[in-house]
Amino acid sequence: MNFLIDNWMLLAMALASGFALLLPVLTKGGGLDPQAMVQLMNRDKAVVIDVCEPDEFARSHVIGAKNLPLGQLEDKLAQVVKNKSSHVIMVCQVGARSARAAATARKLGYDNVQSLSGGLRAWVAASMPTEKS
């Protein structure tokens, strides 16, 4: 017990570093990594919806993605993805908007909706192809 009291700073650093190692696992939130996204696109013909604004979409986006800004998602998702059992992948620049979009789509009755964890930045960092429009 004296060891723990005498070395409380070391113990605190060990706990903090352990927490830092677990943080990415705890905060992933079920998002897809780029490799898993490619598998869904190829194997299950997933529909990729980019929820960025049109100017962001025009600069760069995942090849084959359809642009549907987050603000229009509730009104227009049914027009873009007619089958609610289709696999749908939401993408944005860093992953925050796409996570909200996935939650919105689930509320609308879409069962197989996921978000690209890390967004387009993670896609580009994994050396995946993009296009401009």
52 classed as catalytic: no
By residue count, the chain amounts to 133
Spatial CA neighbour of 31 closest among 111, 90, 83, 104 = 90
Six token digits for residue 93? 């620049």
Q: Please give the backbone phi and psi of residue 31, each rounded to the nearest 5 degrees, phi first.
A: -70, 155
Burial category of 36 from C-beta neighbours within 10 Å (exposed 0-12, middle 13-18, buried 19 and up): middle
Q: Which of 121, 101, 13 is nearest to 49 (CA)?
A: 101
Among 92, 99, 101, 105, which one carries the catalytic annotation? 92
Amino acid at 55: D
Which sequence positions are flagged as catalytic? 92
